Amino acid sequence: MSLDVKEEKTEIRLVFMGAAGVGKTALIQRFLQDSFEPKHRRTVEELHSKEYEVGGVKVTINIMDTSGSYSFPAMRKLSIQNGDAFALVYSVDDPESLDAVKSLREEILEVKEDKFTPIVVVGNKTDRLGERRVSADDVLATVELDWNNCFLEASAKENNNVLEVFRELLQQANLPSRLSPALCRRRETFPKNVGTRPPMNKTNSCTVS
């Protein structure tokens, strides 16, 4: 059987998980539509697909928005099984939402049976000045040193670091590198230094932006 080494993955599934009200849907909507809806709406499960034409090849990004309000263990397990990379979202003003991230990470590693599963931990709602109750330094130390995962803080409301979150997820999920220029063309604000960050000692590490 011959193996085509040039074959690249042209479909990827990103899964957003976290407690209710941390802004998972808001981050996704900011990325897809560059819009923000301040009113919280409960999500059961929604799948968003976006297709890109890259170098003559169609690349599909599937984004799964999971529930933080309802308990559907079987549905959550299926989302994990089908996911290629995971965004674990908490709110910087809610320490309990960080506890949920820890539990979800353990579940992902258990279901995937792979300690190198691409995971990006996202501290959302940095726009809530004066309401922060979770230290970025503490989370950074845990996520990057203990977990060997990536950590970023973001604000869907102010559109801060949202594109960086998706860039990191796609990079860790090994989507074709040529996807990056396509995203740059789509939005001029997309980071132009894709692929130029300094090498890390550990595979899934990155730094807070």
Structure confidence by residue, pLDDT tens digits, 26-38: 999 999 999 998 8
Q: Are 14 and 119 in contact (CB under 8 A)?
A: no
* Gap between the Cα atoms of 159 and 26, Å rounded: 10
Distances (CA, A) of 98 to 93, 103, 110, 136, 184: 10, 9, 19, 11, 32
Instruction: Quote the CA–CA distance of 192 and 113 in Å, as a whole number.
Output: 34
Give the chain's domains with CATH numbers.
11-186 (3.40.50.300)
Q: Please, is 167 exposed, middle or buried when counting C-beta atoms within 10 Å of its C-beta (0-12, 13-18, 19+)?
A: buried
Percent of the chain past pLDDT 90, that is, above it, reads 62
Q: Are 14 and 166 spatial neighbours (Cβ–Cβ below 8 Å)?
A: yes
pLDDT band at 207 (very low <50, low <70, confident <90, very high): low
**pTM of the complete model:** 0.81
Mean pLDDT of 110-132: 95
The tokens of 28 are what? 């996704």
For residue 197, the model assigns a pLDDT of: 34
Nearest to 168 by CA among 128, 125, 136, 200: 200
